[in-house]
Amino acid sequence: MIPVNEPLFLGNEKKYLCECIDSGWISSDGPYVKKFESEFAKFIGMNYGVSASNGTASLEMALYALGVKENDEIIMPSFTIISCAIAAIRLGVKPVLTDIEPENWNMDVSQIEKKITSKTKVIMPVHIYGHPVDMDPIIKIAEKYNLRILEDAAEVHGAEYKNKKCGSLGDVSSFSFYANKIISCGEGGMVLCKNEKAAELARSYRNLCFKPEKRFWHTELGYNFRMSNLQAAVGLAQFEKIDEYIKIKRELGEYYISKLKDIQELKLQTEKEWAKTVYWMYAVELDSKLGIPADIVMKKLKTAGVDTRPFFIGLHCQPVLREFGLFENESYPVTENASKYGFYLPSGLALKKEQIDYVCDSLKKIIYQLKRGEI
């Protein structure tokens, strides 16, 4: 089976882990935590880094750092992981949705302004599958209405929008270092902030809202969202190879395009002229006119030894969110179409070109046979 993801460990991961163990610094106070935070923030172009136990936690920390209050509203795309909605709901903030644009499955920025109310405080663009959101219109809207921007940059380590790193364009940003991300700690995340006050709030929230002047005295509820020194050691070792990893990802994505470009029934990932994508996962979408949903093709690929993953299911379709009374009678047709017909192919850093050859040949054969009714 060719897996969807297989990480690479080419650097100092073992060395740094052994140093943690030998020194006894395995907790969240270790030196690798601080170094990983500062080095990653500098690379992205933000002033402060606050590490987290995972990407979902970092979203919640980032939203808290913006000073949101209960019954505030945040605008986000429906086409994203449920973590984005969880972060809002746990803080009493109402998620308000937009659809996506069909070319790169990113937030349709033309829909944002009509979703703004007197309660709107934050816009959350989610950079999808390695490609940046068109940020300039969002920045203009935020300035016009005095709103804050939280970038979900979980899938775009090193991607660029008009020569600026994704994650440096908003007030705060959130990253994930899950096992399938370009930089991985197994689990892990980070909040990046422009100003010190936001960073202090994020640090407090991840550490149970301890008061520095009086320990074990709490005036607010926080959580234990701390990253351990062990996680940070792996993250830092991975980060030292980030330029190499981005190069690999871009080469793999471009090779997929060269192999699949002649399949008329597939929409492929593209790169806008103002973007540098990192092809976090190589995503495709079947032409709806073919009448064959993604799950059928994915099952056939699995039989052929190729693992895949489906696209996100829209937040407006999630039963658990409907139970909160959210998104009643809302429909986002581009999201719904992408969820039905989209999936992504093996995209790990350890993937070989001969494996891509097999994946693409198998996909072409399956589509051809399905069109002719042979399988």
- Asked whether residue 172 falls in the same domain as residue 270, the answer is no
- Residues 212-238 have a mean pLDDT of 94
When pLDDT is cut at 50, 70 and 90, the band that residue 214 belongs to is confident
Whether this model's pTM surpasses 0.75: yes
- Residues 151-162 have a mean pLDDT of 98
- Single out the residue in 239, 261, 291 at which a domain terminates: 239
Q: How far apart are CA 213 and CA 159, in angstroms?
A: 40
When pLDDT is cut at 50, 70 and 90, the band that residue 67 belongs to is very high
- Asked whether residue 235 falls in the same domain as residue 262, the answer is no
Residues of the chain above pLDDT 90, percent:
97
Within a domain: 227: yes
Within a domain: 112: yes
pLDDT at 212: 84
pLDDT at 163: 98
pLDDT at 344: 97
- CATH number, domain with residue 224: 3.40.640.10
> In the chain, how many domains are there?
2
Within a domain: 3: no
Q: How far apart are CA 301 and CA 229, in angstroms?
A: 40
Within a domain: 270: yes
- Residues 37-43 have a mean pLDDT of 98
Contacts of 301 (CB under 8 A, 6+ apart): 307, 308, 359, 362, 363, 366
Question: What are 135-146's pLDDT values in tens digits?
Answer: 999 999 999 999
Poorest-confidence range of 148-162, 205-219, 355-369?
Answer: 205-219
- Residues 17-26 have a mean pLDDT of 96
Q: How far apart are CA 55 and CA 272, in angstroms?
A: 26
pLDDT at 9: 95
pLDDT at 158: 98
Exposure string over 325-344, b if 16+ CB within 10 A, otherwise e = ebbeeeebebbbbbbbbbbb
Mean pLDDT for the chain overall: 97
pLDDT at 61: 98
Within a domain: 228: yes
- CATH number, domain with residue 308: 3.90.1150.10
pLDDT at 213: 86
- Asked whether residue 177 falls in the same domain as residue 257, the answer is no
Domain containing residue 250: 242-371
Question: What are 261-282's pLDDT values in tens digits?
Answer: 999 999 999 899 999 999 999 9
- Asked whether residue 203 falls in the same domain as residue 133, the answer is yes
- Residues 189-201 have a mean pLDDT of 97
- Asked whether residue 64 falls in the same domain as residue 209, the answer is yes
Is the pLDDT reported for residue 210 higher than 80?
yes
- Asked whether residue 185 falls in the same domain as residue 324, the answer is no
When pLDDT is cut at 50, 70 and 90, the band that residue 202 belongs to is very high
- Asked whether residue 293 falls in the same domain as residue 349, the answer is yes
Is the pLDDT reported for residue 260 higher than 80?
yes
Q: For residues 153 and 134, is the Cβ–Cβ distance under 8 A? A: no
- Asked whether residue 350 falls in the same domain as residue 307, the answer is yes
Nearest alpha-carbon partner for 7 in 238, 218, 199, 220: 238
- Asked whether residue 196 falls in the same domain as residue 286, the answer is no
Nearest alpha-carbon partner for 372 in 294, 265, 259: 265
- Single out the residue in 239, 256, 291 at which a domain terminates: 239
pLDDT at 108: 98
- Asked whether residue 201 falls in the same domain as residue 64, the answer is yes
pLDDT at 374: 76
- Asked whether residue 177 falls in the same domain as residue 38, the answer is yes
- Asked whether residue 104 falls in the same domain as residue 45, the answer is yes
pLDDT at 92: 97
Question: What are 311-340's pLDDT values in tens digits?
Answer: 999 999 999 999 999 999 999 999 999 999
Within a domain: 1: no
- Single out the residue in 195, 213, 239 at which a domain terminates: 239
Q: Which two tokens stand for residue 12?
A: 């100092």
Is the pLDDT reported for residue 121 higher than 80?
yes
Q: How far apart are CA 369 and CA 375, in angstroms?
A: 6
Within a domain: 2: no
pLDDT at 39: 98
